[in-house]
Structure 1
Amino acid sequence: MRPVLFLICPVLLFLGASYLLPFLGIVQLSFTDPDPGLAQYGRVLTEDLPTGVIWRTLRLCVIVTAVSVSCAYVITLLWVRGSPLVRSITELCIMIPFWISVLSRAFGWLSMLSNRGLLNTWLQDLGLIDSAIQMTRNEFAVVVGMSHYLIPFAVFPLATAMRNVDERVLTAADGMGASRLRIFWQVFLPMTASGIMGATLLVFVFSIGFYVTPALLGGGQSVLVAELIYLWLFQIPQWGMAAAMSVVLMLGVGGILFILMRRYGEMAK
């Protein structure tokens, strides 16, 4: 036991110095700037601007998580259970996004979805629309950009779960006369529940802290928590409010993760 603790101690010290101490500094700032007390938390939880941004962030993150995990599930099926050619093409499509920065991807979607972008231009050239459709500076663009970035991250926990599926169970279901659709819904999908949960947690946590993609594609019309914190830090100096919002965000995400993980633990039993 002691050798294990000896090996773990450096990791714990590193994590404490890297994450815990800065977070405690933020907590202290939230209680002391500009005046000591709970006033900043009261404003964060009662004023229209911060509460509206919090609910918008949670709503969009839930949508992005659902879209990303659903798309990733289909892609992972092709990657794990497709033909060799399909697996190779799918694997290439999964890996390529990791070679492109989040900023480049956001600008790519901006050029695709803007009023003079490729999509509107094609639709107008084909005569399908008379005037450009507003597809940027709104929540639609934010969901598209964030989902595109997060889908590859959701693939890996899903792939692990799918590769661990016992083929003998699927063969037994097929031998008992079950259709492919029934095998998928009643056998394969429940057996990959751990991968779905892992992908959901990963994508949701990542999406909560997004800044670049919502800022560019939302155009200031769909401000999320991370962008509001940036504004309070660097454009409208309210460091106490920014710190309080950060603490509320941290506690909120931790609470959601705890509930989801406990719920999944009950389902696994």
Structure 2
Amino acid sequence: MSYALRTSLLIGPLLLFLGVCYFLPFLGIVGWSVTLPEPGLTQYHSALSDPLVHSVVLRTLRICLAVTLVSVVAAYVIALVWVRGTPIQRLLVELCILIPFWISVLTRAFGWLALLSNRGLINEWLQAIGIISAPLTLVRNEFGVIVGMAHFLIPFAVFPLAAAMRNVDERALLAARGMGARRSRVFWQVFVPMTGPGIIGAALIVFVFALGFFVTPAILGGGRSVMLAELIYLRIFQSPNWGLAAAISVLLMTGVGMFLVALLKSIAPRTDR
């Protein structure tokens, strides 16, 4: 059996599964976007010209960028301890990374709601020790959404960062130290650039995941920080306009696809040299 045939037999079932479970439903969404309530591109025009959609898109991008920044920075510190810490530190970090995967996103969102609400533990504690006199507004706004989303996505960013850190050539670090560079300079000018692919991969994973978040923004945003996924839900179930919801979904998928293609082309090694 040839190598190409073995590869096709291994990859074929996966491609078939992806096609049946994802591509065919997406074609159905595309069909809705050009047929409901009547055939044409009216819904795409509405999606591209509606000020409400524009504001939701800007809010979604703003929140996703903030979540990506917070998640990647926090994940970098965690991955650094995981890869280069003591055995006890590594064990503790592994537990902190794995335990969140055992808790559903709904449970985490309600947990943050209990912590950040006006009568939550954080506000009550701050008031009890006299730091604040009135509760801080920590939920039903973008801050609460960013906190909840970052908490969920940090573990996903840790793995590509840890993989990149494990691939760092220790000889380069030793060479920099041998030439008189301080530890801080070795870290920022040698170690961090060598983990660049991991940083890009982690940021890509977090940003794409964040674009499709629904449960966490709906609970912690309280309807005041609506993101694209929640807007699509509202257009389907509360103010029925399936054609507009489908058009927004297609535009979102297209935008994400174009973003991924552009990013991969920009970071791919040039093969013509």
Tell me the TM-score range normalised by the shorter chain. Answer: over 0.9
Residue 39 of structure 2 is aligned to residue 36 of structure 1: yes
Map 1:83-232; keep pairs closer than 5 Å: 83-232=86-235
User: Which residue in the other structure is 1:258 paired with?
Assistant: 261
Please give the alpha-carbon distance, in whole angstroms, between the structure 2 residues aligned to 1:43 and 1:56.
Answer: 18
Deviation at 1:94, TM superposition (A): 1.1
Amino acid at match of 2:125: W
Please give the alpha-carbon distance, in whole angstroms, between the structure 1 residues aligned to 2:188 and 2:173.
Answer: 12
Deviation at 1:2, TM superposition (A): 3.3
Amino-acid identity (%) = 62
Please give the alpha-carbon distance, in whole angstroms, between the structure 2 residues aligned to 1:174 and 1:267.
Answer: 31
> Which of residues 5, 9, 24 in structure 2 aligns to 1:21?
24
Deviation at 1:266, TM superposition (A): 5.5
Deviation at 1:168, TM superposition (A): 1.0
Please give the alpha-carbon distance, in whole angstroms, between the structure 2 residues aligned to 1:171 and 1:214.
Answer: 45
Deviation at 1:157, TM superposition (A): 0.5
Residue 44 of structure 2 is aligned to residue 74 of structure 1: no
Secondary structure in structure 2 of the residue aligned to 1:146: helix
Please give the alpha-carbon distance, in whole angstroms, between the structure 1 residues aligned to 2:139 and 2:269.
Answer: 41
Deviation at 1:235, TM superposition (A): 1.1
Please give the alpha-carbon distance, in whole angstroms, between the structure 1 residues aligned to 2:211 and 2:158.
Answer: 19
Please give the alpha-carbon distance, in whole angstroms, between the structure 1 residues aligned to 2:270 and 2:206.
Answer: 20
TM-score (norm 1): 0.97
Secondary structure in structure 1 of the residue aligned to 2:240: coil
Deviation at 1:87, TM superposition (A): 1.2
Please give the alpha-carbon distance, in whole angstroms, between the structure 2 residues aligned to 1:115 and 1:266.
Answer: 51
User: Which residue in the other structure is 2:15 paired with?
Assistant: 12
> Which of residues 239, 243, 247 in structure 1 aligns to 2:242?
239
Q: Which digits, 9 at most, give the CA deviation of each residue in 1:40-99, with x for residues without a partner?
A: 001111111111111111111011011100100011111111111111111111111111
User: Which residue in the other structure is 1:48 paired with?
Assistant: 51
Where does structure 1 lack aligned partners over 5 or more consecutive residues? none
Please give the alpha-carbon distance, in whole angstroms, between the structure 2 residues aligned to 1:67 and 1:264.
Answer: 22
Please give the alpha-carbon distance, in whole angstroms, between the structure 1 residues aligned to 2:81 and 2:42.
Answer: 53
Amino acid at match of 1:220: G
Please give the alpha-carbon distance, in whole angstroms, between the structure 2 residues aligned to 1:8 and 1:236.
Answer: 42
Deviation at 1:3, TM superposition (A): 3.6
Please give the alpha-carbon distance, in whole angstroms, between the structure 1 residues aligned to 2:209 and 2:115.
Answer: 24
Q: Which digits, 9 at most, give the CA deviation of each residue in 1:202-233, with x for residues without a partner?
A: 11111011001000000000000111111111
Please give the alpha-carbon distance, in whole angstroms, between the structure 2 residues aligned to 1:195 and 1:262.
Answer: 16
Please give the alpha-carbon distance, in whole angstroms, between the structure 2 residues aligned to 1:5 and 1:83.
Answer: 44
TM-score (norm 2): 0.95
Please give the alpha-carbon distance, in whole angstroms, between the structure 2 residues aligned to 1:267 and 1:76.
Answer: 29
Amino acid at match of 1:154: A
> Which of residues 65, 78, 85 in structure 1 aligns to 2:68?
65
Q: Which digits, 9 at most, give the CA deviation of each residue in 1:169-210, with x for residues without a partner?
A: 111111111111111111101111111111111111110110
